[in-house]
Amino acid sequence: MRPLSHLFAALTRPWPALLLLIGLTAAMAGLAMEVGFDGSTQRILAQTQVQQAYQHRMERLFGGDHTCFIALHPPTGDCFTVGVLEKIASLSAALEALPGVAKVVSLTQVGTIRGGVDGLEVRPLIGEIPHDPAALARLGEAATTHRLLRRNLISDDRTYTAIVVELDPSPAGLEIRDATLTAIDHLAAEARSPEEVVVAGAPMVGQVFRHTMAGDLGRLVPLTLAMSGLCLWLLFRRPRAVILPTVAVGAAMVWTLGLMHLLHTPLSLITTALPPVLIAVGVAYGVHVLAATWGELRAGHDRDRAVRRAVARVTWPVVLSATTTAIGFASIAASPIRTLQEFGAFSVVGTFFSMVLALTLVPICLTLLPAERWEEWRGQRRPWPIDRWLKRLGSFSRRERLAVVGMALLMLLLAAGGIARLVADTDYLAYLPEQAPIRQAAELFNRHLAGATTFTVVFEGHDPGRFRQPDALRFLAEMQRHLAADPGVDTSTSLADFVAVMNRALHDDDPAYEQVPEGADEIGQLLLLFSLGDEAEAVLRPYVNYDASIARLTYRSHLTSSRAQVALADSIEAYCTHHAPAGIRTHQTGSAYYLAESSMGIVRSQARSLGLTAAVIAVLMAIVFRSVRVALLILVPNLLPIAMVFGLMGWWGIPLSTGTAIIAAISLGIAVDDTIHLALRYREELTPRLNPGAPVRARRAAQEAAMATTLIETGRPVIYTTATLVVGFSVLACSSFVPVRMLGILTATTMLFCLFGDLLLLPALLTLVPVAPSRTRRAQAKAGTDATATAAPTWRWNPLRRRRPTPFGLAPRHRPSAAVAEIPAARGVDEQLATVATSEE
């Protein structure tokens, strides 16, 4: 790290560098202000190219499934009154006139199949609105008993009616989608008196998400900066200690958002948490620079020398810490989910920006502070109260190391019980609070009408005309009966429904004939007669293609849990596998289906990401410390907190969702930072104290002395950074999104558990495992060579140069002090430290 240290020490002209950083930040700020928002769930879909192509092909054949649902409830409790029907008619006409709307279906817009002189025809359910109460009652009876209208457009008790708005799925329709949804919401609001009018559906949920994200970003970012600044003030009690890290991390956030705009990447459901996360993570790097500078000033160095020495000391730990954090975020980017890829990738970039600014902007500003302002820091050796607490904590962890390890094992056992109860599930409506209007609207549909979520099943036959055959249509009808028996399905519609209604209409509306005919000739005659009408193609197009080789079945469900939706899809797949006629293949498709599958896939992918993160960090630590044993010891205090949080989630009944599944990778990448700082400082303190030729008790005493100094000197910034992380992530609890709240609360809890691991478990583990001398040192000791009297070579670790590994990756940089070699093993750690200090003076 000498080249980097020289680079920062060479900043003798800080003003040009500072002006360059200010100019770059100002330019990126202009771009960051233009970053967009995408609240749709399309960015969460994990579709292969084959699946995407198939879905687009089905949308071209049958139309899209991007549908909004408007429910209307009159105060009289009866939808079949003149005033209510007139409002439905006017609202339907206004909706149909909107650009971006493909089709509107309502009581006044829907047609029914009737028998006529010339065969079969489609007539409006309600032509001219009657004023006769008896006629209105007959209309109500006809609507509630019609298999295609019941619960789709009218509730069983006629107190709720629905208007179905199908959006244009074409690229032109997508370009104006936001304006279309805003207009739909505006028309519904205008019709809200005296009737109750609510809007539901996945497109409207995405619209609400988009507006909520914009509000969250404007509220959470200033709040996170303010709370982090307050935490820094309470810890340092100096304005510069608050301003410098806050400015550095704020600039890093601006750079990241500006880059997102340059790459045309909007903020989405997961990436909306990116700015607060970057603030919480990035503040820690500036804190380490400040703490190191403070330590050098307390040692009596002047301003410029203190800053240079501080940067030289913390550059390698900060770079290593940022690397491990980036590894955690990069593992998230390996997910097949687009929004997680974006979150992971830009988190890596933001972490890099935070590291660079902490090691450049903060030292530059420190060197520009007036020299007379530093006198309050120079030569201060008065111990802080936290130092005494850390000293007692270190003594306890060394003295009761077995008890600490036993307590950790007990915590792991309790966590295992909770993990066994943990379930994977995502409910996107539950992203919003229970009082959110869009969530209440969805629950209204679930109670009184069919659910506002539409699923699609496509059946493909080998030959044209396959779905004009009786066995194929009867299979569709049986499939619908199977769905009707499932409590999660509200309604279903297929070609079999229309054929049954045609058969009834052709037989003088006799209910006994409302079924699929037995013979192929009868079915062909029905379809031929119906095709003579003008609206035949528009009615059947959503359910069968032009040559009847492909049929489509849609069902509406009130299920919002991805776990329940996937279970239902699995049951459909199993039923079709066992009951589908020969030559018919089944495919489940549509946005709702792929969203449920993707939500469950996120959990599986993040489990792999956690393993990948742990493995990569372990390899990195093994390279840095040249010891697999030390690498594993470093991972233990960081994996235990993750297990504890997952255990708490299991005991508290919190599901593993798209929002909470990324906690593990984030926490491991962040939490290992402090462990690295402690381990590196421990190695630095242990190197001059360790006498490989000494007996085991003497080496253990050296370990304890090194750990005591490490906890006092490095434990303080570890507590500071943990405090800022906890405060930063806790701010996410103020988010309007429930999973973002849980992400903040659970990650903050993980950081607290990590503090226990760093200050109690890690010292116990490192001092519990004795440091074994190298083979060369053991040979010298056996031959009677005084290892301490021999000048130790001064070298730094070079990964390209092959050497026999030394214990704990220790690279001796100077001869150990004679006072250290003469410390009796039986003396206490405090006495040893006092002896070392006296001899050095």
The answer on pLDDT for 570 being more than 90 is yes
Contacts 24+ apart (CB under 8 A), 836-839: 836/689, 836/705
The answer on pLDDT for 693 being more than 50 is yes
Strand, coil or helix: 799: coil
Structure confidence at residue 377 (pLDDT)? 52
Q: Which residue is associated with the tokens 């028309």? A: 187
pLDDT class of 509 with cuts at 50, 70, 90: confident
Q: Which residues pair with 511 in a beta bridge?
A: none
Contact criterion met (CB below 8 Å) for 67 and 166: yes
Q: Which residue is associated with the tokens 């009018």? A: 197
Cα 610 from Cα 598, distance rounded (Å):
18
Vertex 111, ends 108 and 117: CA angle to 5°?
Answer: 130
Contact criterion met (CB below 8 Å) for 198 and 192: no
Token couple for 747: 């990650």
- At position 226, the amino acid (one-letter code) is A
The answer on pLDDT for 290 being more than 70 is yes
Q: How many CB atoms lie within 10 A of CB 444?
A: 18
Cα 25 from Cα 11, distance rounded (Å):
20
Phi first, then psi: what are they for 198, rounded to 5°? -130, 155
Average pLDDT over residues 174-200: 90
DSSP characters over 506-538 = HTTT-GGG-S--SSHHHHHHHHHHHHTSTTHHH
**H-only helix segments in 191-337:** 202-236, 239-262, 274-298, 303-333
- CA distances from residue 398 to 332, 394, 412, 635, 674 in whole angstroms, order as listed: 37, 6, 21, 19, 19
The answer on pLDDT for 762 being more than 60 is yes
Cα 482 from Cα 477, distance rounded (Å):
9
Residue predicted with more confidence, 71 or 813:
71
Cα 709 from Cα 82, distance rounded (Å):
85
Mind listing the pLDDT tens digit for each residue in 387-421?
778 888 878 877 888 888 899 899 999 999 998 88
Q: Which residue is associated with the tokens 């279906």? A: 105
Structure confidence at residue 385 (pLDDT)? 67
The answer on pLDDT for 815 being more than 70 is no
Q: What is the CB-side half-sphere exposure of residue 552 using CA atoms within 13 A?
A: 23
The answer on pLDDT for 365 being more than 80 is yes
Residue predicted with more confidence, 585 or 836:
585
pLDDT class of 806 with cuts at 50, 70, 90: very low
Contact criterion met (CB below 8 Å) for 542 and 552: yes
- CA distances from residue 472 to 181, 475, 520, 625 in whole angstroms, order as listed: 38, 5, 10, 68
Q: Give, as one character, the DSSP assignment of residue 791.
A: P
Using CB atoms within 10 A of its CB, is residue 364 exposed (0-12), middle (13-18) or buried (19+)? buried
Structure confidence at residue 410 (pLDDT)? 93
- At position 493, the amino acid (one-letter code) is T
Mind listing the pLDDT tens digit for each residue in 629-645?
888 888 888 888 888 98
Q: Which residues pair with 489 in a beta bridge?
A: 557
Select the CATH number that applies to the domain covering 1-34+238-382 from these four: 1.10.1760.20, 3.40.50.2300, 2.60.40.10, 1.20.1640.10: 1.20.1640.10
Token couple for 300: 């009596």
Residue predicted with more confidence, 723 or 162:
162
Contact criterion met (CB below 8 Å) for 104 and 166: yes
Strand, coil or helix: 492: strand
Predicted structure pTM score: 0.77
- CA distances from residue 661 to 597, 604, 730, 734 in whole angstroms, order as listed: 15, 9, 18, 20
Residue ranges per structural domain of the chain:
1-34+238-382, 62-207, 383-420+605-841, 453-596
Structure confidence at residue 442 (pLDDT)? 92
Residue predicted with more confidence, 13 or 342:
342
Cα 197 from Cα 204, distance rounded (Å):
14
Structure confidence at residue 603 (pLDDT)? 67
What is the signed CA dihedral for 708, 712, 716, 718, rounded to 10 degrees? -20
pLDDT class of 374 with cuts at 50, 70, 90: low
- CA distances from residue 657 to 234, 343, 606, 760 in whole angstroms, order as listed: 35, 16, 10, 31
Vertex 383, ends 379 and 387: CA angle to 5°?
Answer: 135
pLDDT class of 186 with cuts at 50, 70, 90: very high
Please state, rounded to an integer, the average pLDDT across all residues of the chain.
82
Cα 224 from Cα 218, distance rounded (Å):
11
Flag the least confident range among 216-225, 702-711, 723-732, 785-794. 785-794
Q: What is the CB-side half-sphere exposure of residue 503 using CA atoms within 13 A?
A: 20
Structure confidence at residue 841 (pLDDT)? 38
Among 40, 38, 46, residue whose Cα is nearest residue 66: 40
What is the signed CA dihedral for 390, 393, 398, 403, rounded to 10 degrees? -160
Residue predicted with more confidence, 582 or 334:
582
Q: How many H-runs (helices) and E-runs (strands) does the chain carry?
A: 29, 10
Q: Which residues pair with 832 in a beta bridge?
A: none
Q: Do domains 1-34+238-382 and 383-420+605-841 have the same CATH topology?
A: yes
pLDDT class of 73 with cuts at 50, 70, 90: very high
Structure confidence at residue 822 (pLDDT)? 36
The answer on pLDDT for 363 being more than 80 is yes
Cα Rg for the chain, rounded, in angstroms? 35
- At position 523, the amino acid (one-letter code) is I
Strand, coil or helix: 550: strand
Contact criterion met (CB below 8 Å) for 816 and 788: yes
Q: What is the CATH number of domain 383-420+605-841?
A: 1.20.1640.10
The answer on pLDDT for 798 being more than 80 is no
Q: Which residue is associated with the tokens 């935070």? A: 354
Q: How many residues does the chain have?
A: 841
Going by DSSP bridges, is the β-strand pair 161-167/489-493 parallel, antiparallel, or unpaired? unpaired
pLDDT class of 9 with cuts at 50, 70, 90: very low
Strand, coil or helix: 417: helix
- Give whichever of 33-47, 166-180, 520-534 has the largest mean pLDDT: 520-534
Structure confidence at residue 835 (pLDDT)? 39
Structure confidence at residue 99 (pLDDT)? 92
Question: What percent of the chain is modeled with pLDDT above 70?
Answer: 86
Flag the least confident range among 158-167, 180-189, 369-378, 713-722. 369-378
Structure confidence at residue 376 (pLDDT)? 56
The answer on pLDDT for 677 being more than 90 is no
- At position 330, the amino acid (one-letter code) is A
Among 657, 667, 787, residue whose Cα is nearest residue 726: 667
Structure confidence at residue 631 (pLDDT)? 82
Average pLDDT over residues 373-396: 66
Cα 806 from Cα 545, distance rounded (Å):
73
What is the signed CA dihedral for 145, 146, 148, 154, rounded to 10 degrees? -50
The answer on pLDDT for 799 being more than 50 is no
Q: How many CB atoms lie within 10 A of CB 496?
A: 24
pLDDT class of 575 with cuts at 50, 70, 90: very high
Average pLDDT over residues 290-300: 79
The answer on pLDDT for 477 being more than 60 is yes
Max Cα-Cα span within the chain: 118
pLDDT class of 788 with cuts at 50, 70, 90: very low
Token couple for 212: 């909520």
Average pLDDT over residues 450-474: 92
Find out whether the peptide bond into 793 is cis, omega within 30 degrees of 0: no
Cα 704 from Cα 692, distance rounded (Å):
15
Mind listing the pLDDT tens digit for each residue in 128-139?
899 999 999 999
Average pLDDT over residues 246-255: 93
Cα 437 from Cα 537, distance rounded (Å):
37
Q: Give, as one character, the DSSP assignment of residue 337.
A: S
Structure confidence at residue 96 (pLDDT)? 93
Cα 388 from Cα 830, distance rounded (Å):
12
- Give whichever of 278-282, 668-672, 764-768 has the largest mean pLDDT: 278-282
